[in-house]
Structure 1
Amino acid sequence: MRRKRIIFLLGSILVLFFLLTGRLMQIQLFQTESFSSHNINLIENSVEQRTQQLVIDEGRGVIVDRNGEELTHYTKNVLILFPFLKNVEWDIEKVADIIGVPTYTLASTLENAKKPIVFGEKKPVELTEDQMNRINDLKIQGVFALSRKYPLKEKLAQQFIGLIGENEKVFQKRYPDKVKGTKQKIGITGIQKTFDEWLIAEQPSKLIYHVDAIGGPLFGVDVKYLAPANPFYPLNVKTTIDGKIQGKMEEILEKREVNKGGALLLDINSGEIVASVSKPDVNVRSPFSDNGSTNYMYTELIPGSVFKTVITAAAIEKEFVNEERKFQCDQDIYGNPSDRPLGNINIKDSFAASCNRTFADLAKEMVEKDKDIIEQYAAKLGLTGDLSWSGDLFHYSDFKHFQADTGRIFKNEEEKDDQNYVSQTAIGQREVRVTPLAVANMMATIARGGEKLSIKAVDSVEYANGTEMFTFDKQTLEGEKISPYTAMKLQQYLHEVVHGKVGTAKALHSAALEVAGKTGTAETGKFKDDNQEKQLLNKWFAGYFPFDNPKYALVVVNMDVQEYEGGVYPMFLDIVNAIASLED
């Protein structure tokens, strides 16, 4: 009996020994970079425990504008000091003399330092190239003059560029072969997310030295600089954004007190997004707590009378109308007296004055002949569908620059059989939903004479030395398009809106560059104020300029405003004039 107990005890100890040995092998040999279900990087954590380090560059790729200017970070030449300097003799006088500060200032900065510091801390002193070279020539361990990257506090095109953050689970799912980088930041929205695979850091650049339990140097004062060995990385994503125009547009929307809405500018020749502003701004402390993270330029909205452009295109091309025909614009879409009587006028003046009755009548006539005609012409104008540049790229079979809503005209087929529904659809109400991006694209399509282009958000991806890894060429958007004649007539009508006798946008006649475009006012809901029911509106203006030699298509929208507030003409005018000034 006693012998059995001893054998059992020895056997248990042996089993325990093998279990512990297996666990140690798992920790030390097999799962050093992805331990447990949480994929903990044991090597990385152990290094962190016995080192002090200062990150110079996280290693994530850079997002730049079309001129190569950084949109997310800036670089500054700074002086870096390690805390062990306060316990050793070093040439503090020479360093202080080079940067032009008293010796005691450097000494006092180090006095309470427990980690590597950037001299000046909250407002680092910026060094010249000459100062950097002179400091580094001294070859003092623990003293470095380096170029360090800092995130911009005021970022341009926040929703367009997108957000980054740490998310271990998403990182592991997205990059299962890069488990060791679990603490790296990944793209969550916008360009940061779409191009994350090219922006993800390979390895950060940092200064590092080993310390003991109380923070003292473990192997002397030998500080090492660790950086990626590959000179071609990290990659740069070169967007189509023009930083100067973007900055001006953001200033203008701020000045005009746009709380919800935005503006988007397209390059007509290339189909590139030149500037994109969405309000409200991103709440940096809590980006997903409100609508700040939403890019309203990619979001389906009620367009109002901007949509009459589609009805006009279909009516002209299918010969439902000519300029001899008159419409009863003293009546609303239901045949009742109009709040804004305009008399009997033709299609040209109806478009300029935005007569609802004209387009309701035309839409009913056309849908009776062809139920799908409105949807067909919305697509022909590039107002609906997937507008993003797309194509095969590396292991992606259908890579896209962005994800935007595709728009809709009718909610279901039954609505096309109801004349009231069709009438409301014709004036951009009921179930019509389109994105500001698509509205700008429609204007660009008309300005180009009917040619449809895919929209680009990125021009190219570049290596760190500036050479191109790959570039995105101009791309034709598939599908049917309007005829050159229809495009020409639409150009004339859009011009009349601003420059005609009955045009609704005469306020833009004084713009520095000649504008053509269309107004839109859409009812979005009601609210009570002082026991009175009031209407909320989306106010739009979309157009292109200069009229004789079109270069830009621009859309502005002010969302959920009341009738006598939030006008969009001053905003559109300011943007056109700012662009004219920048390009003068």
Structure 2
Amino acid sequence: MIRKRVKLLSVLLVIGLLTLSARLMQLQLFQTESFSKHKINLIEESVAQRTQQLIIDEGRGQFLDRNGNPLTFKEKNVLVLFPFLKRMEWPVEEVARIIHVTPEIIETKLELAKGPIVFGGQEAYQLSDEQMKEINALKIQGVFAVTRKFKNDHVPASQLIGITGENTEEFHERYPDKVKGVHQKIGVTGMQEIFDEWLISEEQSKLIYHVDAIGGPLFGADVKYLAPANPFYPLNVKTTIDVKMQEALEEVADQYHINKGGLLLLDIENSRIVANVSRPAVNNSDPFSGGASNYMLKALAPGSVFKTVVAAAALDEGIVDESRMFNCDEDIYGKPADKQHGRINIETSIAVSCNRTFADLAKELVEKDPHSLEEYAGKLGLLGDLSWKGNVFHYEDFSQLQVSDGRIFVSDEERKDLNYISQTGIGQREVRVTPLGIANMMATIARGGEKYMVNAATSIDYQNGTSMFSFPKKKMEGEKISPFTAMKMQKYLRGVVNSPEGTAPYLDTALYEIAGKTGTAQTGKKQEGKELYNKWFAGYFPFEDPKYALVAVNMDVFIDEGGIYPIFKDSVDAVYKLENE
């Protein structure tokens, strides 16, 4: 009996030792960099437990503006101090003299330090290159002058660029072959998410100091600098954003208190986004509280801006010319209109934004071809694959932007209802299009009918600035409007601004000559018992030599508030001043 118990106990001990050995082998040999389902990197975690570290650069790739200036970070020359200095004698007076502070200030900061500190915190003292050389020439252990990257408090075009966050599980789901996922930031929205694979960090740059259990020096006062071995990585994405124009248009949006909506500026020659302003702005402390949405890429009710599509389709199909007259004393239902303009032609109808004209033309177009409005929205570059799309490395049909799908009708039944068609013809009912699409439509007309995919990035670059991959200008597929129709539309859109009866004469005082179209869309929403509207102006400038297309939209405002013309004019004037500095 005793012998059996001894045998059983021996077997259990052997099993226990084997299990423990297997566990130790798992921890120390087989899964050191991807332990458990959470893929924990045990080596990195163990190093973190016995070191004090200061991150100099997270190692994630950055976004640059079209001139190569950083959008997401700024670099500063800063003083770094390690806490073991408070236990030793060191020439604090010399360092204080170089940075023009008293030794007591430095010593007070060190006394409070539990880990390595950047002297001055986020608003750190900016050292000159000469001060950096002097400090580093002293060769004091634990005292370093380094160039450190700081994340910008405000990122220009923040909704377009997007947001990053830490999510180890999501990291390993996206990149199962990568093991360095500890505290690794990934793109969550916008271009940060779309270009994430090229931006993720291989290794951080950091100052590292080994400590014992109570924070004392483990190997003496020996601080090491660790940096990625490959000088070409991480990669950067060069965007099409012009940071000065972006900031100028953001200032206009805030000056006019746009609470919801924004501005989008497009370079006509290359169909590149020069500025993307969306409001509400991103709240850095809670980015998903409402400011993360980029309304410039969302499908919205356009109102009379959509009449541009109806006019171009009617001209291209030969349904209308300047000799045909419309009864603009009546509304779309044949009742007396609120604003009566008499019998006028297509050119004047666009200038005064006569609803009856475009309701009639929409019905004729849909009768001729039930899908004609969608087809011409595509021909104008308003609908379809707006974002640059193509094969990039192992990606097929890689797209630079996540753009909402627009629509004209939601069902074929609506195409048979004359009232639905009439309301659709003036940009109401179920019509939804993006500000990006409207800007691209205006650029298409300004170019004489040529339509291009919209670029938000021009290249993916190595750290030394050379290009790894470039995004060339690409035409949108499919049919386009005729050059004659484009020429007529250019003339008519200019009339909105400079003709005596036009709806936007205020814009004729801008520093550039403007052509464009107004829009006031019913949203179906109410506040304080009053209806809310989306107010638009979309156009291009300078009229004679088009360079930019611009869309301004002020969403969910009362009919007697949120005027769009001053917003558009001041934006155009801001571009003019920057162009003529």
The answer, yes or no, to whether TM exceeds 0.5 is yes
Aligned partner of 2:214 in structure 1 is 214
Aligned partner of 1:117 in structure 2 is 117
- Give the residue type in structure 2 aligned to 1:566: G
- Give the residue type in structure 2 aligned to 1:59: G
- Give the residue type in structure 1 aligned to 2:152: L
Q: Is the Cα contact below 8 Å between 2:202 and 2:234 reproduced in 1?
A: yes
Alignment of 1:292-307 (within 5 A): 292-307=291-306
Q: Provide Cα deviations, 1:517-566, integer angstroms capped at 9, x if missing partner.
A: 0000110014253xxx4221110000000000000000000111111000
TM-score by length of 2: 0.98
Q: CA deviation at 1:284?
A: 1.6
User: Which whole-Å CA distance do the structure 2 matches of 1:528 and 1:133 have between them?
Assistant: 62
Q: CA deviation at 1:360?
A: 0.7
Q: Provide Cα deviations, 1:385-435, integer angstroms capped at 9, x if missing partner.
A: 121111111110111111101211110111111111110110001111000
User: Which whole-Å CA distance do the structure 2 matches of 1:151 and 1:282 have between them?
Assistant: 15
Structure 1 residue 539 corresponds to structure 2 residue 535: yes
User: Which whole-Å CA distance do the structure 1 matches of 2:381 and 2:121 have between them?
Assistant: 51
User: Which whole-Å CA distance do the structure 1 matches of 2:487 and 2:65 have between them?
Assistant: 33
Q: CA deviation at 1:112?
A: 2.8
User: Which whole-Å CA distance do the structure 2 matches of 1:282 and 1:93 have between them?
Assistant: 43
Aligned partner of 2:186 in structure 1 is 186
User: Which whole-Å CA distance do the structure 2 matches of 1:353 and 1:406 have between them?
Assistant: 30
User: Which whole-Å CA distance do the structure 1 matches of 2:460 and 2:315 have between them?
Assistant: 43
Q: Provide Cα deviations, 1:112-146, integer angstroms capped at 9, x if missing partner.
A: 32211111224311111111111111211111000
User: Which whole-Å CA distance do the structure 2 matches of 1:286 and 1:104 have between them?
Assistant: 37
Q: Which of 529, 546, 557 is the aligned partner of 1:561?
A: 557
Aligned partner of 1:375 in structure 2 is 374
User: Which whole-Å CA distance do the structure 2 matches of 1:550 and 1:220 have between them?
Assistant: 67
- Give the residue type in structure 1 aligned to 2:448: G
Aligned partner of 2:337 in structure 1 is 338
User: Which whole-Å CA distance do the structure 2 matches of 1:297 and 1:179 have between them?
Assistant: 37
Aligned partner of 2:400 in structure 1 is 401
Q: Is the Cα contact below 8 Å between 1:316 and 1:322 reproduced in 2?
A: yes
Aligned partner of 2:480 in structure 1 is 481
Aligned partner of 2:63 in structure 1 is 63
SS, match of residue 511 in structure 2: coil
User: Which whole-Å CA distance do the structure 1 matches of 2:396 and 2:367 have between them?
Assistant: 40
- Give the residue type in structure 2 aligned to 1:223: V
Q: Provide Cα deviations, 1:279-312, integer angstroms capped at 9, x if missing partner.
A: 111122221122x111100000000000001111
Q: Which residues of structure 2 form unaligned runs of 5+? A: none
Alignment of 1:75-474 (within 5 A): 75-290=75-290, 292-474=291-473
Q: Is the Cα contact below 8 Å between 2:168 and 2:182 reproduced in 1?
A: yes
- Give the residue type in structure 1 aligned to 2:376: Y
- Give the residue type in structure 1 aligned to 2:29: L
Q: CA deviation at 1:494?
A: 0.2
Q: Structure 1 residues 441-450 or 280-289, which shifts more?
A: 280-289
User: Which whole-Å CA distance do the structure 2 matches of 1:107 and 1:305 have between them?
Assistant: 66
Aligned length: 580
User: Which whole-Å CA distance do the structure 2 matches of 1:107 and 1:168 have between them?
Assistant: 38
Instruction: Indicate how the Cα distance of structure 1 residues 230 and 526 shifts in structure 2: closer, same or farther if over 3 A, else same.
Output: closer
User: Which whole-Å CA distance do the structure 1 matches of 2:555 and 2:317 have between them?
Assistant: 34
Q: Which of 551, 555, 579 is the aligned partner of 2:575?
A: 579
Q: CA deviation at 1:314?
A: 0.9
Q: Structure 1 residues 100-109 or 240-249, which shifts more?
A: 100-109
- Give the residue type in structure 2 aligned to 1:361: D
- Give the residue type in structure 2 aligned to 1:213: A
TM-score by length of 1: 0.98
Q: Is the Cα contact below 8 Å between 2:168 and 2:181 reproduced in 1?
A: no
- Give the residue type in structure 2 aligned to 1:521: T
Q: Provide Cα deviations, 1:468-514, integer angstroms capped at 9, x if missing partner.
A: 11111111111100000000000000000000121101110101000
Q: Is the Cα contact below 8 Å between 1:171 and 1:182 reproduced in 2?
A: no
SS, match of residue 178 in structure 1: coil
Q: Provide Cα deviations, 1:130-176, integer angstroms capped at 9, x if missing partner.
A: 11111111211111000011111122111011000001111011111
Extract structure 1 runs of 4+ deviating beyond 4 A.
Answer: none
SS, match of residue 198 in structure 2: helix
- Give the residue type in structure 2 aligned to 1:286: D
User: Which whole-Å CA distance do the structure 1 matches of 2:346 and 2:565 have between them?
Assistant: 24
- Give the residue type in structure 2 aligned to 1:202: E
Q: Provide Cα deviations, 1:195-232, integer angstroms capped at 9, x if missing partner.
A: 11111111110000110111000011110000011111
Q: Which residues of structure 1 form unaligned runs of 5+? A: none
Q: CA deviation at 1:21?
A: 0.6
Q: Is the Cα contact below 8 Å between 1:172 and 1:182 reproduced in 2?
A: no
Q: Is the Cα contact below 8 Å between 1:157 and 1:276 reproduced in 2?
A: yes
RMSD between superposed Cα atoms in Å: 1.0
Q: Is the Cα contact below 8 Å between 2:44 and 2:182 reproduced in 1?
A: no
Aligned partner of 1:41 in structure 2 is 41
User: Which whole-Å CA distance do the structure 1 matches of 2:530 and 2:126 have between them?
Assistant: 55
SS, match of residue 425 in structure 1: helix
Q: Is the Cα contact below 8 Å between 2:74 and 2:151 reproduced in 1?
A: yes
- Give the residue type in structure 2 aligned to 1:225: Y
Q: CA deviation at 1:9?
A: 1.1
Q: CA deviation at 1:466?
A: 1.2
Percent of aligned pairs sharing the same letter: 62
SS, match of residue 79 in structure 2: strand
User: Which whole-Å CA distance do the structure 1 matches of 2:230 and 2:525 have between them?
Assistant: 59
Q: Is the Cα contact below 8 Å between 2:77 and 2:148 reproduced in 1?
A: yes
Aligned partner of 2:74 in structure 1 is 74
Q: Provide Cα deviations, 1:424-447, integer angstroms capped at 9, x if missing partner.
A: 110001111000000000000000
Q: Is the Cα contact below 8 Å between 2:385 and 2:476 reproduced in 1?
A: no
Q: CA deviation at 1:259?
A: 0.4
Q: CA deviation at 1:37?
A: 1.6
Q: Structure 1 residues 99-108 or 494-503, which shifts more?
A: 99-108
User: Which whole-Å CA distance do the structure 2 matches of 1:165 and 1:432 have between them?
Assistant: 35
- Give the residue type in structure 2 aligned to 1:539: K
SS, match of residue 485 in structure 1: helix
User: Which whole-Å CA distance do the structure 2 matches of 1:347 and 1:171 have between them?
Assistant: 56
Q: Is the Cα contact below 8 Å between 2:296 and 2:436 reproduced in 1?
A: yes
